[in-house]
Amino acid sequence: MKTYKLAIAGGGSTYTPGIVRSLMDRLEDLPLSELRFYDIDGERQSKVVIAAKAVISEYTDRINIVETTDPQVAFDDVDFVFAQMRVGKYAMRELDEKIPLSHNVVGQETCGPGGLAYGLRTIFPMVELIDFVEKYAKPSCWIVNYSNPASIVAEGVRKLRPHARVINICDMPVATMRNMSAILGVEREELEVDYFGLNHFGWFTKVKVDGVDRLPELREHIYQYGLLTEDVSKIDYRHADSSWIKTFKNIKLIMDYFPDYIPNPYLQYYFFPDYIVETSNKEYTRANEVMDGREKSLFETVKNYEETGVLADEFHVGVHGIFIVDVTVSLAKNLAKRYLVMVENNGTIPNLPANAMVEVPCLITSKGPVPEYVGEIPYFHQAMIEQQLASEKILVEAITEGSYEKALQAFTLNKTFPSARVAKAVLDDLIEANKEYWPTLNKKYKEGVLI
């Protein structure tokens, strides 16, 4: 029986134990001989790996477990790498959210200025990871990447490492489908959806069960409840916090204005940035909710396990862990399963640029994702996507060129900003906050004059 060596880059993530449990649940489909945990923060990772080892022990004692901060040890001869890096950890996420909010601009980790800031921190570390994997891993190794902001990371990889064996994925469409299936009273796997857009910036155009489009039924439900069941306990634990309940309710608000398609939940930040800011707590953001919730719970569970030897049932198999393993099994077994992932457009959506990194249905084969043809999209959606795409592409140019002017252009184009004046104020504050992480952004002009 063929077995695989798999490395988790970002082994200190709070999501690691849940991903490990999902891997254990799928050992028959993806037999592992070795599981490696890699993180630049060895102290944090060591605590998380205690929980991961406890999960593994419930299933098997035949997997060799490696914990390291050395990239060669982590990636030597591996078959797959799961990437889930968070550059700057939650302390920087908190600033990504609170600095924009101090200017009455959306404060969110992947959308608006927070996402742009996070992207400026993540592109070069992601490229470094790719280089490590290409140097040490098997030539056939695939990186399955969850690192956010996924759309910007995907564009950076496309530009800087165009031949890298990376599949960029996001669990937000899967989480949205989970809510749809709960509303319709079917299993998520029974849904076949059509979808187009960028990551965190797209629309579901059909939601089929047994070949019948149930989107009209979902539309009627959303008009009453948003994209939530009346019993919210059916929602995956990762998306059951109060901020997520609010987010899924806001899908109703979007569809009251634009009812044709079901939007990705993150579109709330672009359609209604003023409303989002008005209803945000500037002192206690999603970062604080996570630190006081999932983060605190994980390390308390580890401490309790060390003291008692009893592992509390804290590590559920949610869509985050399920999806990354599903994609990897399809890669390993050449199953050609259909999932929503990010790929270079190349005509999949003819009225978007060929080099756009779009999120569309793809068949996942051993050679990578094969996108389904989507066809031309309505002009309204095309125009919105192209504006967001331009913001992300110019941001990547700002990173690679070290250009302050291009960073400002990227911020100004983002729909979450009311003006270039506000965009500049937020950018300047974020530059100061990110001195340890961002590449230097040099100014070509000073007060309109060439330097």
Asked if residues 32 and 99 have their Cβ atoms less than 8 Å apart, the reply is no
Q: pLDDT tens, 288-303?
A: 999 999 899 889 988 8
The single residue of 15, 195, 266, 404 carrying the catalytic annotation is 266
Residue located via tokens 């060591």: 46
Tell whether residue 250 is among the known ligand binding residues.
Answer: no
Tell whether residue 141 is among the known ligand binding residues.
Answer: no
Asked if residues 317 and 238 have their Cβ atoms less than 8 Å apart, the reply is no
CA torsion through residues 133, 114, 13, 250, sign: negative
| 171 given a catalytic annotation | yes
The single residue of 171, 194, 236, 326 carrying the catalytic annotation is 171
Rounded Cα–Cα distance for residues 268 and 266 (Å): 5
| 76 given a catalytic annotation | no
Tell whether residue 86 is among the known ligand binding residues.
Answer: no
Per-residue confidence (pLDDT) for residue 261, from 0 to 100: 98
Tell whether residue 320 is among the known ligand binding residues.
Answer: no
Per-residue confidence (pLDDT) for residue 222, from 0 to 100: 97
Per-residue confidence (pLDDT) for residue 195, from 0 to 100: 98
Kindly report the CA angle at 111 between 106 and 116, in degrees rounded to 5? Answer: 100
Question: What is the per-residue DSSP string for 350-387?
Answer: TTS-TT-EEEEEEEEETTEEEEPP-----HHHHHHHHH
How many other CB atoms sit within 10 Å of the CB of residue 282? 13
Tell me the whole-structure pTM to 2 decimals. 0.95
Per-residue confidence (pLDDT) for residue 448, from 0 to 100: 75
Q: pLDDT tens, 78-118?
A: 999 999 999 999 999 999 999 999 999 999 999 999 999 99
Per-residue confidence (pLDDT) for residue 237, from 0 to 100: 46
Q: Which two tokens stand for residue 236?
A: 């995956």
Question: Residue ranges of the domains in the chain?
Answer: 386-450
Q: Which two tokens stand for residue 13?
A: 């993530």
Q: Which residues of the chain have pLDDT under 70?
A: 232-240, 312-316, 450
Tell whether residue 170 is among the known ligand binding residues.
Answer: yes
